[in-house]
Amino acid sequence: MPYDIYVDRELCIGAATCFAVAPKTFKIDEENKAVVTESGHEDDQTILEAAQSCPVSAIILKLKESGKQVYP
Ligand code: SF4
Protein backbone atom coordinates (compact mmCIF):
# COMPACT_ATOMS: atom_id res chain seq x y z
CA MET A 1 0.00 0.00 0.00
CA PRO A 2 1.63 3.28 -1.04
CA TYR A 3 -0.47 5.45 1.28
CA ASP A 4 -0.02 6.54 4.84
CA ILE A 5 -3.57 7.11 6.04
CA TYR A 6 -4.60 9.63 8.67
CA VAL A 7 -7.95 10.64 10.11
CA ASP A 8 -8.34 14.20 11.36
CA ARG A 9 -10.47 13.47 14.38
CA GLU A 10 -11.25 17.15 14.89
CA LEU A 11 -13.01 17.12 11.53
CA CYS A 12 -14.54 13.65 11.67
CA ILE A 13 -18.28 13.71 12.33
CA GLY A 14 -18.72 9.94 12.45
CA ALA A 15 -20.65 9.78 9.19
CA ALA A 16 -19.10 6.34 8.64
CA THR A 17 -19.13 6.41 4.85
CA CYS A 18 -15.42 5.59 5.01
CA PHE A 19 -16.29 2.46 6.95
CA ALA A 20 -19.04 1.59 4.45
CA VAL A 21 -16.59 1.86 1.53
CA ALA A 22 -13.52 0.35 3.21
CA PRO A 23 -14.50 -1.63 6.32
CA LYS A 24 -11.09 -3.33 6.59
CA THR A 25 -9.27 -0.01 6.66
CA PHE A 26 -11.47 2.12 8.90
CA LYS A 27 -13.43 1.43 12.03
CA ILE A 28 -15.59 3.63 14.19
CA ASP A 29 -14.45 3.86 17.78
CA GLU A 30 -16.31 4.51 21.03
CA GLU A 31 -16.18 8.27 20.43
CA ASN A 32 -18.02 7.67 17.13
CA LYS A 33 -14.99 8.76 15.12
CA ALA A 34 -13.03 6.90 12.51
CA VAL A 35 -9.68 5.26 13.18
CA VAL A 36 -7.38 3.45 10.78
CA THR A 37 -7.13 -0.26 11.50
CA GLU A 38 -3.77 -1.87 12.09
CA SER A 39 -3.90 -4.33 9.20
CA GLY A 40 -5.92 -5.88 6.40
CA HIS A 41 -6.51 -2.76 4.33
CA GLU A 42 -8.40 -2.61 1.05
CA ASP A 43 -6.61 -1.85 -2.23
CA ASP A 44 -5.37 1.67 -2.95
CA GLN A 45 -8.25 2.62 -5.24
CA THR A 46 -10.81 1.65 -2.61
CA ILE A 47 -8.95 3.60 0.07
CA LEU A 48 -8.90 6.64 -2.21
CA GLU A 49 -12.64 6.24 -2.82
CA ALA A 50 -13.23 6.00 0.92
CA ALA A 51 -11.28 9.23 1.45
CA GLN A 52 -13.27 10.91 -1.32
CA SER A 53 -16.52 9.69 0.26
CA CYS A 54 -15.86 11.52 3.52
CA PRO A 55 -18.25 14.51 3.66
CA VAL A 56 -15.81 16.62 5.69
CA SER A 57 -12.54 15.53 3.99
CA ALA A 58 -11.20 14.20 7.27
CA ILE A 59 -9.19 11.41 5.64
CA ILE A 60 -5.71 12.41 4.58
CA LEU A 61 -3.63 10.27 2.26
CA LYS A 62 0.11 10.72 1.83
CA LEU A 63 2.46 8.74 -0.33
CA LYS A 64 4.59 6.51 1.87
CA GLU A 65 7.73 7.02 -0.18
CA SER A 66 7.79 10.79 -0.51
CA GLY A 67 5.34 11.96 2.14
CA LYS A 68 3.54 13.93 -0.57
CA GLN A 69 -0.10 14.51 0.26
CA VAL A 70 -2.37 13.07 -2.45
CA TYR A 71 -5.73 13.69 -0.80
CA PRO A 72 -7.48 16.02 -0.12
S1 SF4 B 1 -16.39 9.36 6.46
FE2 SF4 B 1 -15.21 11.04 7.36
S3 SF4 B 1 -16.55 11.90 8.89
FE4 SF4 B 1 -17.35 9.90 8.39
S5 SF4 B 1 -16.42 8.53 9.90
FE6 SF4 B 1 -15.12 8.51 8.10
S7 SF4 B 1 -13.57 10.07 8.52
FE8 SF4 B 1 -15.25 10.43 9.91
The string of pLDDT tens digits covering residues 15-26 is 999 999 999 999
d(CA 16, CA 67): 26
Q: Which atom of ligand 1 is nearest to the CA of 19?
A: 6
| Spatial contact of 61 and 71, defined as CB atoms under 8 Å apart | yes
Give CA–CA dist 13/1, Å, rounded. 26
Helix (H, G, I), strand (E, B) or coil at 16: coil
Domains in the chain, ordered, with CATH?
Answer: 3-71 (3.30.70.20)
51 CA to centre of ligand 1 in angstroms: 8
pLDDT for the residue 40 = 83
CA-CA distance, 58 to 13, in Å (whole number)? 9
Which atom of ligand 1 is nearest the CA belonging to 34?
Answer: 5
Beta strands in 1-72 (DSSP E): 3-7, 26-28, 34-36, 59-63, 69-71
Tell me, what's the pLDDT at 1? 60
Residue nearest to atom 8 of ligand 1 (CA): 12
| pLDDT digit string, tens, across residues 16-69 | 999 999 999 999 999 999 999 998 899 999 999 999 999 999 999 999 999 999
